[in-house]
Amino acid sequence: MTKLLFIKASPLPDDVSRSMVVASAFLEKYKQENPNDVIERVDVYEQDIPLIDGAFMAAGNELRGGKVFADLDPVMQDKLTKFDALTQQFMDADRYVIVSPLWNLGIPPMLKAYFDTVVVAGKTFRYTANGPEALLQNKKALQIHGSGGVYSTGESDLETHGEPYINTILNFIGVETLPSIFVEGVDYDPTRKDEILNAAIEESVRRIGLF
Ligand SMILES: Cc1cc2nc3c(=O)[nH]c(=O)nc-3n(C[C@H](O)[C@H](O)[C@H](O)COP(=O)(O)O)c2cc1C
């Protein structure tokens, strides 16, 4: 059975976030066309996404050094368990929809924290003598990316690291990325909001056939 993981990276409510308005319409159509798919949602600003910090890295080193998991601090046990569950959930999925805004030319910090739970050496990629090697196969992702300004057309001089980073990190672990959907420019011209959202919805629905 095909499993689609729907990852939301905007902290705004679903009906306020522009990328989510588009993604919700996409998802409704997707469900109609794929009624047997299992759909799971990850909400990176609602869920407890474990952050990699010094204590987390120390615990990893202790485990690699032979320490028994049950002997770790209970808080760290809980953190590691949640971390591993997120990695496993990602590995078990076949398709992904990543709904993210552009924040200060990059991705929201909690989405980065989430990617840190799924880009794991030995599970989703591995180091080899010839460099890193992706370990995931037969998986596809669609990105729905919201930004206040317009960047996808190349008319901006600014280099952005939101949508390109998400595709790069997914490709790094072996996930094929479909051409992204851009929900962009509403902050520049709010009078065009409906037009921009509707065009993005139409385009996103056309991507369903590419999955
Ligand atoms: C903290 C923050 C940083 C932002 N940085 C940018 C930016 O660098 N470039 C841009 O075009 N829009 C930027 N925006 C605007 C959002 O990308 C835009 O409002 C977009 O529609 C957000 O998507 P959402 O409505 O799905 O949350 C920023 C918004 C916030 C809250």
The answer to whether 91 and 60 have CB atoms below 8 angstroms apart is no
**What is the per-residue pLDDT for 157?**
85
Provide the domain limits for residue 23: 3-210
- Residues 60/123, Cβ–Cβ less than 8 Å: no
Going from the Cα of 121 to the center of ligand 1, the distance in angstroms, rounded, reads: 31
- Please tell me the distance from the alpha carbon of residue 39 to that of residue 49, in angstroms, as a whole number: 19
- Asked whether 101 lines ligand 1 (CB < 6 A), one says yes
- Residue 58's pLDDT is what? 95
Which residue minimizes the CA distance to atom 12 of ligand 1?
A: 148
Q: Is 18 annotated as a binding residue?
A: yes
Q: Is there a binding annotation on residue 180?
A: no
The confidence score (pLDDT) of residue 106 equals 97
Which residue, chain included where needed, has tokens 């996930």?
A: 175
Are the CB atoms for 22 and 187 separated by under 8 Å? no
Total domains, the chain: 1
Phi and psi of 14, rounded to 5°? Answer: -55, -35
pLDDT attached to residue 154? 84
User: CB burial class (10 A; 0-12, 13-18, 19+) of residue 46?
Assistant: exposed
Ligand 1 atom with least separation from CA of 106: 8
- In contact, 166 and 100? CB cutoff 8 Å: yes
Give the CATH number for residue 28.
3.40.50.360
pTM for the structure as a whole: 0.96
Report the candidate in 89, 99, 103 with the shortest Cα–Cα distance to residue 160.
Answer: 103
pLDDT for position 49: 97
Q: What is the pLDDT along the chain (211 residues), one digit of tens a residue?
A: 999 999 999 999 999 999 999 999 999 999 999 999 999 999 999 999 999 999 999 999 999 999 999 999 999 999 999 999 999 999 999 999 999 999 999 999 999 999 999 999 999 999 999 999 999 999 999 999 999 999 999 888 888 999 999 999 999 999 999 999 999 999 999 999 999 999 999 999 999 999 9
